[in-house]
Homo-oligomer: A and B are copies of this chain.
């Protein structure tokens, strides 16, 4: 009891975890199901875009030289020899004095070098022949989207491990990915511990609370890109607990336990790690909340022993588990997006250690503001509803005042950083 633990820095803890953080497999899914997944390989342009010279407008394709003398007073008249829709190709070669009616997106006919927009041309028919009248000069290349103008063949358009947004989905379709290689989601197990915990469907009892951490963590896993697997609550018996952890770990890529890691008498986890001969990466971090966060490793799989209190649990997950999930997904930027902003409200509690305060980041008049949520008691749940950030308050100070510059980690953003850095740790 009251075993001695040596705290390490947050960045050291993260580094130790990342050293043992494996990348996962790649699978293929239909392009219809690709949104929100992570690319399993670089997305490279397999052809120029556009892959032919095309018209960006509805109008008339022609030879610019034919408009050399055109003006409002002396318009030029050309014969419209054909009409091509998008997807059609004009067979012949257009000659001097000729024009082709062309639709948006259609390929520029051979012989043409510019396009006149429909609105700027006057078309008419005479003796069953069609003509167009042009009243200004056009230059070679006017209103033509050139082959390769948007993207050249071979360009890497999105790196392996990128979060697939609607733009990337469009690129995948453009380059013919009917099936898309995506990163397999890591299976992340969750086991809750705490004899005070009621299940979500239970009525309240004196001294007990409902298990909320589990459902928070399941959502955090999904947000990070993992597949959450809930194994229920720990049993009261040590041997059964031990078996639960061993069995759960076999079924997943990594395992999270909540609670049971502090130095209280009823906390089985340290003993379980010992019995299963898991290597302890650390069991104390110089931060608040979540100082008792423990990470262990067994046969290449990580066990995250997160604190039982909601705030510490939330912070521990985002700092330690999220980058491991993103690394499994091959993300080149597995760490939380970090921005600098202004503290919007005093936070007077003295900080012996680096503190990660749940908070809400907002934009105000072009400035980035961060507001600590509620009381930030470790036990507070209510303040989590509008949490979209962790405010980093380095230790060793008496407290922080409104208007001070702070580092803010964005937990709701799909963007990230390739490297974790904590200001002034």
**Chain A 116-162 interface residues, beta-carbon cutoff 8 Å to B:** 118-119, 145, 149-151, 155, 157-158, 162
Residues of B contacting A54 in the complex (Cβ-Cβ under 8 angstroms): 207, 379
CB distance from A325 to the nearest CB of B (A): 14
Return the contact of A266 from the options B103, B178, B263, B368 (Cβ within 8 A).
Answer: B103
**A58–B228 CA distance with the chains assembled, in angstroms:** 30
Q: Taking the complex as formed, is A29 at the interface, i.e. its CB lies under 8 A from any CB of chain B?
A: no
A210 touches B173 (CB 8 A): yes
**Residue A250 CB within 8 A of the other chain:** no
Give A203 to B50 CA distance when docked, in angstroms: 15
A212 close to B (CB within 8 Å)? yes
Whether B340 contacts A86 by the Cβ 8 Å rule is no
Is the beta-carbon distance between B414 and A216 smaller than 8 angstroms? no
Asked if A365 is at the interface (CB within 8 A of a chain B CB), the reply is yes
Chain B residues with CB under 8 A of A309: 56, 104-105
Is A271 interfacial (CB-CB < 8 Å)?
no
Q: How far is the CA of A222 from the CA of B164 in the complex (A)?
A: 12
| Shortest Cβ gap from A193 to chain B (Å) | 10
Asked if A298 CB lies within 8 Å of chain B CBs, one says no
- 0/1 string, A267-309, CB within 8 A of B gives 1: 0000000000000000000000000000000000000000011
Q: Does A378 contact B (CB under 8 A)?
A: yes
- Beta-carbon nearest neighbor of A102 in chain B: B264
From 392 to 419 in chain A, residues with beta carbon under 8 angstroms from any chain B beta carbon are: 405, 412-415
Q: Which residues of B contact A119 (CB under 8 A)?
A: 2
What's the Cα separation between A205 and B119 when bound, in Å?
A: 29
CB-defined contacts of A337 to chain B, threshold 8 Å: 363
Q: Does A251 contact B (CB under 8 A)?
A: no
Q: Are B149 and A377 in touch, CB under 8 angstroms?
A: yes
Known contacts A145-B377, A217-B166; A366 and B341 CB within 8 A of each other: yes
B263 and A384 within 8 A (CB): no
Q: Assign chain A's interface to a size class.
A: 35 or more
Q: Find out whether the CB atom of B385 lies under 8 angstroms from the CB atom of A149.
A: no
CB distance from A407 to the nearest CB of B (A): 10
Q: Are the CB atoms of B377 and A215 closer together than 8 Å?
A: no
Q: Any chain B CB within 8 A of the CB of A196?
A: yes
A208 at the A/B interface (Cβ < 8 Å)?
yes
Q: Which secondary structure characterizes the binding site on chain A?
A: loop
Q: Which of B104, B165, B220, B363 contacts A223 (CB 8 A)?
A: B165
Given A104-B262, A208-B87: A201 and B176 within 8 A (CB)?
A: yes
| Proximity string of chain A (334-366) to chain B, C-beta cutoff 8 Å, 1 when within and 0 when not | 000101111000000000000000100001011
A32 at interface, CB cutoff 8 A: yes
Given A103-B264, A341-B366, the answer on whether A49 and B382 have CB atoms closer than 8 Å is yes
Q: Is the CB of B200 within 8 A of A178?
A: yes
Q: Mark A302-323, 1 if CB is under 8 A from B, else 0.
A: 0000001110001000000000
Q: Can you show 24 pairs from A to B with CB atoms below 8 A apart? A: A35-B219, A36-B223, A49-B381, A50-B379, A52-B206, A54-B379, A56-B378, A58-B263, A85-B264, A88-B207, A105-B209, A150-B380, A157-B382, A166-B220, A166-B223, A170-B216, A171-B212, A172-B215, A176-B200, A176-B201, A176-B210, A339-B363, A366-B405, A368-B368
The 8 tightest CB contacts between A and B, nearest first, are A167-B384, A87-B196, A86-B196, A170-B216, A166-B219, A107-B207, A151-B382, A178-B201
Enumerate chain A interface residues (CB-CB to B < 8 A).
2, 31-32, 34-36, 43, 45, 47, 49-52, 54, 56, 58, 83, 85-89, 103-107, 118-119, 145, 149-151, 155, 157-158, 162, 164-178, 194-197, 200-204, 206-220, 222-223, 228, 230, 262-266, 308-310, 314, 337, 339-342, 358, 363, 365-368, 374-375, 377-388, 405, 412-415
Given contact pairs A167-B387, A366-B367, enumerate 12 new A-B contacts (beta carbons under 8 Å): A2-B119, A32-B218, A32-B228, A50-B379, A83-B265, A105-B309, A166-B220, A167-B314, A169-B215, A174-B212, A340-B366, A363-B368
